[in-house]
Structure 1
């Protein structure tokens, strides 16, 4: 990570608690040559294929059962709040214990909770039963996400980090192309419960794949070593001292609250009365096509100083919110979603690569947890308030200005000079 003077060498240090698997591999710049990375990629591919169907299936399943945007907002928030509450603890756990073990256990837990959600939808139970299940699922997400943020640095190194991030992004986006469309068709034909059931099975299969990822054991902790609370304080201290990290986090706090509130809550409601579940699934798939395109390109292309272009282009990610507010048809929404997918994936790969190459490996999960926590804290406010604001002022009045504010938020971090000067590590080819 750059010091206060961006021209100084990055503050990149090895872990003091474990020997990253990637450092012992024969070709750190070629992640697919590593069996551990291949099993991790397989597990993530399966899990993401199921998870890509879940949002559409859950949204229209809840709307079918209740006809209420308020219930949809409550169910999605019931998962988000526990996830946020668990994220920082998850960061400490993922830096303190083996990340492959964490992923196996959380995948098993997520499989059980999604099976419960599927059962509620398939048997037409009251949607109130979805609230505790969504809460448990959110807890497992909060424990999983920091481990995913840190494990890539355990499996590869150097230029292989961007290649690994791009490969994972490509697989994720391929799933997001097929998943929403499949979920829309399943929901329209037999109901969303079956798509959620497939997601439950995918978590179970992912856990089996993660069982084949074997990271080195952590070195024994010495007596009088730092406690979990001390390590959590260290993570916060590092995060809060780096303006290039927290400035981006704050920008995404604004963007995520507006995007999740308008796109995730108002989007299905508007689509339910206009383009339907099938049309909404196609729009989400178009976003996946754009993201997949960017992910494939980023496997080979490296921008020397990428943060400026990444943030500037992210302002285009607010375009779908504006078009949704003005009542655009499926074609225009799909085109805007495609562009949003391209810029979002470009930023994601850049951000993951910069984090993995400029943050000390032993701190990756804790710093990543703070990044995600603070960027998602305002999301429940956006999700809960959006239906009421739309009912009071109209969808266009909420969506169009919201899109404009989200676009501006993405440009504000560019005032941080050290952020614009960050370079991607080209070593490890």
Structure 2
């Protein structure tokens, strides 16, 4: 069976825990794909365009505040505990959003904002902890294969969730998508709660972990991100990639607001639907490619083109090019990003100590969106004085330049490891 065949080859005391973690990841990915499609539609039906923009900004701000702290905490506290608490809180957050949609009065906006913000905060803690836990439980000799399978099955589950969300929107049941996702969070929390984490058992022998609430109460975004950047300097190329991706996230924030406006204005619904959906299919193909071809010569090219191709697609849309062009660029970008993901994770497990891997995984997952709220806020001002297509083109060009800049350090192409 594809979902667990790689795990059956591992003879470890943690084999059962790996099965649990795999199924929890599959269920969680389905819920994420579902919510990714229905959330904006459900919120827009209640708040309109401006309210939706504010809600999505609160989601991005939650991620901004939590990714760095989540990475630090993943290296000091119980990773299983982080996953369970984050899933439970994200389930509650979905129900808050649903409540805000249903009440349809003055309480709608505060409830939706709180739900989106909480979801963003929990995502920042959840993702570094999950990546670190896989690297901790899987033997080094099998890690690359397991990560490739993880990427593939999670992308398939994500696509199925997105397809389910599209069907629910078509039949007018988008709100039920939030309920299903909330249930998926509860199920994954119950599954992950049974996972035994070796590092926590070691801590009971004398190494104390910082409590979840302590890190949250002492949140210092600048200090936490500085700590992540300090750890990244152990690699010759990672700091440049991180800095350019951070700056590029401002462009990404601007694009997230301008792109829908230009898409709807320049293209018919068929092209818009294809642009939104085919990229998800390309993610599955990229993950499948990583599973089949496990020794690429330049695995880092996918990291570079994964973002560069996305900006290229937006630039082509801004220029009004035939729909096939931006769709092709978007699919190529998604394929490259999914293909390189397990190789990047494997690089982290080889380059960095287990006590620092959570920080680097936080950098990997959060750096491309950390300053997106700045871009979103900036777009609200710029779009009042400049045409959306011009704003989209300028941000796309700037994003492409920043995405290509890490190539100045050629080590990124092969994910060079510094001894």
Report whether the alignment pairs 1:367 with 2:369.
no
TM-score by length of 1: 0.80
2:73 to 62, 80, 93: 93
Structure 1 residues without counterparts, runs of 5 or longer = 1-24
8 A Cα contact 2:235 2:417, kept in partner: no
Aligned residue number for residue 337 of structure 1: 330
Report whether the alignment pairs 1:105 with 2:98.
no
Secondary structure of the corresponding residue to residue 393 of structure 1: coil
Structure 2 residues without counterparts, runs of 5 or longer = 1-6
2:17 to 27, 36, 40: 36
| 1:119-198 alignment runs, 5 A limit | 119-125=99-105, 126-198=108-180
Inter-partner Cα distance in structure 1 for 2:34 and 2:254? 19
2:182 to 200, 207, 218: 200
8 A Cα contact 2:254 2:395, kept in partner: no
Task: Give the deviation of 1:410 after TM superposition.
Answer: 2.1
Task: Give the deviation of 1:281 after TM superposition.
Answer: 5.1
| 1:1-400 alignment runs, 5 A limit | 27-28=9-10, 34-68=15-49, 70-125=50-105, 126-216=108-198, 217-220=200-203, 237-262=230-255, 264-270=256-262, 280=272, 282-303=274-295, 305-314=297-306, 315-327=308-320, 332-400=325-393
Inter-partner Cα distance in structure 1 for 2:148 and 2:314? 26
Task: Give the deviation of 1:324 after TM superposition.
Answer: 2.8
Aligned-residue Cα RMSD (Å) equals: 3.3
1:235-292 CA-partner distances (Å, limit 9, x unpaired): 5532245342221112322343323431x33344455667688865543321111111
CA distance 1:283–1:342, shift in 2 (3 Å): same
Say which structure, 1 or 2, has more relative contact order (CA 8 Å, 6+ apart). Answer: 1
1:408 to 391, 401, 412: 401
CA distance 1:410–1:223, shift in 2 (3 Å): same
8 A Cα contact 2:66 2:125, kept in partner: yes
CA distance 1:173–1:222, shift in 2 (3 Å): closer
Task: Give the deviation of 1:130 after TM superposition.
Answer: 0.9
Inter-partner Cα distance in structure 1 for 2:235 and 2:77? 25
8 A Cα contact 2:135 2:143, kept in partner: yes
CA distance 1:116–1:203, shift in 2 (3 Å): same
Query: Number of aligned pairs?
Result: 396
Range 265-274 or range 391-400, more displaced: 265-274
8 A Cα contact 1:244 1:419, kept in partner: yes
Aligned residue number for residue 8 of structure 1: none
8 A Cα contact 1:81 1:138, kept in partner: yes
Secondary structure of the corresponding residue to residue 104 of structure 2: coil
Task: Give the deviation of 1:143 after TM superposition.
Answer: 1.5
8 A Cα contact 2:254 2:376, kept in partner: yes
Task: Give the deviation of 1:408 after TM superposition.
Answer: 2.2
1:169-214 CA-partner distances (Å, limit 9, x unpaired): 2223223433334323323432532222221111111112212322
CA distance 1:420–1:326, shift in 2 (3 Å): closer
Inter-partner Cα distance in structure 2 for 1:324 and 1:194? 33
Task: Give the deviation of 1:66 after TM superposition.
Answer: 3.6
Secondary structure of the corresponding residue to residue 202 of structure 2: coil
Task: Give the deviation of 1:328 after TM superposition.
Answer: 5.3
